[in-house]
Amino acid sequence: MWQETKHGLYKQFNFEDFKQAWQFMVKVAELAEEYQHHPRWENEWNVVQIWLITHEGDHKITDKDRQLADAIDKILTPNTTINPKEHPFPDKVKVFADGGSRGNPGPSASGFVILDKEDNVLVDKGVYLGVTTNNQAEYTALKLALEECLKNQVHEVEVYMDSLLVINQVRGIFKVKNRDLWPLHDSVKQLSQKFNHINFSHVPREFNKLADAAVNRALDEQLLLK
């Protein structure tokens, strides 16, 4: 379902692999030329995110955007998106988690993406938190992701985050000096003990785009409602 956000009419499409994602983008490009209305989009592995907004319409969502959105939906077939029944949660997954605060403290959200070993997206979720700090949002994203993994009976997890603070604290390299982070840190440590194997790795921000997109999507959707 397309969602009205601050940045336009938005939808995320998940595919079996990059080849299918690329074929989809080629078809969307042909539609864009036909409609003379060009979207903003992002592609990461097997995921394509699209935003539609009418620039000459004072950057607002118009019927022109909705018509193109309907046309894009019609080029999809049942085989182009992941069927959850065909992709049950495996024993081992990769988790990308992120958090953000517009103000620090300010309106905040957590986002996480869970992928299988072939980089199929199993879960892509953003959660609005209210007013918190950036570090609290980062920790909450990790906590929510681990809870989702346990709910789906995952046994091994590789966690990737661009927050060096969170990664080094959960690995025991840094001490947790901020008292506000103690409960979240304790929850993450307790959840971590329930897996057969878990590893925490720091990655540059450019490798955490999917989780970052989930954060901003949750923030934009909430702020649009106000």
Torsion of CA 137, 143, 145, 147, to 10 degrees: -150
What number is the average pLDDT over the span 133-144?
Answer: 98
Mean pLDDT for the chain overall: 89
Q: From CA 3, how far away is CA 53, in angstroms rounded?
A: 12
Encode pLDDT of 42-90 as tens digits: 888 888 889 999 877 677 899 999 999 999 988 875 444 444 444 578 9
Domain 92-225 is classified in which CATH homologous superfamily? Answer: Ribonuclease H-like superfamily/Ribonuclease H (3.30.420.10)
DSSP β-ladder status, 92-101 and 156-161? parallel
What pLDDT does 224 receive?
Answer: 63
The secondary structure element, H or E, covering residue 147 is helix 134-151
What pLDDT does 60 receive?
Answer: 86
Domain spans in the chain, listed from the N-terminal domain onward: 3-74, 92-225
Count of Cβ atoms closer than 10 Å to residue 163 Cβ: 23
What pLDDT does 15 receive?
Answer: 81
What pLDDT does 133 receive?
Answer: 97
Q: From CA 56, how far away is CA 74, in angstroms rounded?
A: 25
CATH code for residues 3-74: 3.30.1360.20
What pLDDT does 190 receive?
Answer: 97
Encode pLDDT of 213-222 as tens digits: 999 989 988 8
